[in-house]
Amino acid sequence: MKTKVLKNAAYGVAMAALVFSSACQQVEEPQIITNGETDVIPTDGLGDVIPGQWIVKFKDSDMKPSRQGRTVFTSRQDKADYSEMARVNITAEIEDFLAEEGIARDKVGAIWTAAVTGFVAQLSDREAEQLRNNPMIEVVEPDIMVYPIQYTEDKDQQPAARGEAQTTPCGISNAGGPDTNGSAVGGAWAWVIDSGIDLDHPDLNVVTNSTYARSFVGGSANDCNGHGTHVAGTIGAINNSIGVVGMVAGAPVVPVRVFGCSGGSATSTIISGINHAASYDLAGDVANLSLGGYYGSGCGNNSTYRSALFSLDNQSLVAIAAGNDASNAALYQPACVNSSRIVTVASMTCGGSFSSFSNYNMNPVDYIATGSSVYSTWVGGGYRTISGTSMATPHVAGIMLSRNAKPRTSGSVSNRGESYPKAVR
């Protein structure tokens, strides 16, 4: 097979070596799925595979993502301008590649150019095999459904409305108390890759500029689920005498909406959210991923999802939820993803006991924070108490935003013979 010679050497592409095969059937009418509304095929060990839908990633050595170009930016606008220029150039290269491979452009959904270079497409088995055999390609893998980590709502707690007197939730106190000095270093942002954020919540400093606040499931970045708004409040609820106060009071929180009002999303949609954050983040920013993944392969495979997260940590610190299955976190992706700037977070109670629902294993779990009975912001300008590792993780994200570094620790929580360090500011 002929290997394409790239025209623009400044934007050469992607990495080295995973292939994934599947018996998925071709869909006659291509439909790139982003919101989980189309039927999927359950596949043992992989989760719900979207039929005929494939994630394709180039080798960095052949088509480099913009993330690996100039890496030092002090201006968000300069970063945005650079990323847009790179997006146009790399997209043109990918479209040339598709034409040479005989793959119709209308079969292709999202194209990624920042965190990774690649795309998602509806492909026949023959086309998937053709791409797998192309020396420019690192990964051809099925697109798998991802579901939000299920949380538990405290039934004895009534949802609270606007205007109630401010309280400091126990999780904030357990993590060393709120940073009320506005010390999100250099105007750093928290990217909440989740169900969106209530754009009008009076207790949140939401970045609403549509360049940054984006939805990848249709509509706006506004939250109609509640999960993302709750996460955002733990990170940065304003110190304003109402509701709650977050770990970094008043920190800018950016909604990157990858889940709809209910149900799951494709892995490719999550990658689009990560790719978006990678296009605009600056040093000191933090990304929070309180979202589910899939069980089985863990981090044994060099997946595009994993590569995108590794790319994101070139600039941002990243906090990932361990999961709520009371199981080994090493078997779940993205919980298993770790690096010097990516941390996985388990959950404890307000009183300091290991939460019964939390996934465990100190490899990959790095820290523990309060995830049981966490009180935070909710959609409609309200507040709610819910539980989950999703609720523990933004405590750690907030700590990292305040410190521009990984958390300090104070004490530990024991579970199954392991001691989990408590994250503090």
Q: Angle 111-42-152 (CA atoms, 0-180°, nearest 5)?
A: 90
Please check whether residue 359 is in contact with residue 322, taking contact to mean a CB–CB distance below 8 angstroms: yes
Q: d(Cα 41, Cα 392) in Å, to the nearest integer?
A: 32
Q: What does the alpha-carbon distance between residue 348 and residue 363 come to, in Å, rounded to a whole number?
A: 17
Catalytic residue among 66, 198, 215, 227: 227
Contacts of 179 (CB under 8 A, 6+ apart): 247, 248, 249, 398, 402, 425
Could you tell me the CA-to-CA distances from 250 to 64, 194, 245, 385 in Å, in that order?
Answer: 36, 19, 8, 20
Q: Known catalytic residue: 220? A: no
> Catalytic annotation on 227?
yes
Token look-up 């109609």 returns 224
Place of tokens 């108390």: 177
| Catalytic-labelled residue, pool 22, 265, 373, 390 | 390
User: Structure tokens of 203?
Assistant: 């207790």
Asked about 276 being catalytic, the answer comes back as no
- DSSP character for 221? S
Structure tokens at 23: 């018996």
| Spatial separation of the C-alpha atoms in residues 152 and 154, rounded to whole Å | 6
Q: Degrees (nearest 5) of the Cα angle 356, 361, 366?
A: 100
Among the listed residues 61, 103, 100, 68, the one whose alpha carbon sits nearest the alpha carbon of residue 82: 68
Tokens read off for 314: 């070139």
Catalytic residue, from 179, 194, 223, 313: name it.
194
DSSP 3-26: PPPPS-GGG-B----EE----PPP
Task: Report the largest interatomic distance among the alpha carbons of the chain, rounded to a whole angstrom.
Answer: 68
b/e for 279-306, b at 16 or more Cβ within 10 A? bbbbbbbbbbbbbbbbbbbbbebbbbbb
CB 235 within 8 A of CB 398: yes
Q: Got the DSSP string for 182-219?
A: --SGGG--EEEEES-B-TT-TT-EE---TTTSEESSSS
Task: Enter the DSSP assignment of 292.
Answer: -
Q: Are strands 252-257 and 286-289 parallel, antiparallel or unpaired?
A: unpaired
Residues with active-site annotation:
194, 227, 390
